[in-house]
Amino acid sequence: MRYSIILLAVLTISLQSCGQSKPTTTSETTKTNKTMDTTGKKTDEEWKKTLTSDQYYVLREKGTERAYTGKLYLTKDKGIYKCAACGNELFTSDMKFDSHCGWPSFDREIKGGKIITQTDTSFGTIRTEIMCAKCGSHLGHIFDDGPTETGKRYCVNSVSLEFIPEDSATKK
């Protein structure tokens, strides 16, 4: 019995490791009435053909990769982070910081309405989900507990991002 209670507590904490007690309320990022760009919208079958199974699970089914396992979690290289589904530029390396939550974290997005948000009440919590404004793919969540001057923490799944190193971006 005691083991079951401890296991339940650990599971609850791990599911909420990027949790928050109140929804994000910022005029810069909370634009739930904003709609995504649906030009060239793909069907589920088309997404399944273009994404890996892990990408499909996170980006299209709103899944989450395990904490501390993502390929971009510890990346410190200079460059741009794009949506892995559609290539929309979302973040730069200057916006990234180590939040010790197990996922890549950013304190702001690239300007221009690159990200849309909506309230997420799954797992018995209230969080603000972030999605790519171009294709509607799930990226992660945003919280009001960031350590930088913005006070924001965009907690993003590595698998939902494609990283383009600065030297590669300047060669194009």
Position of tokens 């990769």?
65
Q: Quick one: which H or E segment has residue 41?
A: none
Instruction: Give the Cα separation of 147 and 144 in Å (integer).
Output: 9
Instruction: Give the Cα separation of 115 and 87 in Å (integer).
Output: 13
Q: Which residues of 72-87 are buried (b: 16+ CB within 10 A; e: fewer)?
A: bbebeeebbbbbbbbe
Candidates 83, 86, 135, 155; catalytic one: 155
| 155 is an active site residue | yes
Instruction: Give the Cα separation of 58 and 66 in Å (integer).
Output: 11
Which structure tokens are listed for 33?
A: 């009435």
Instruction: Give the Cα separation of 105 and 163 in Å (integer).
Output: 14
Instruction: Give the Cα separation of 129 and 154 in Å (integer).
Output: 9
Which structure tokens are listed for 70?
A: 């993502």
Please identify every residue annotated as catalytic: 155
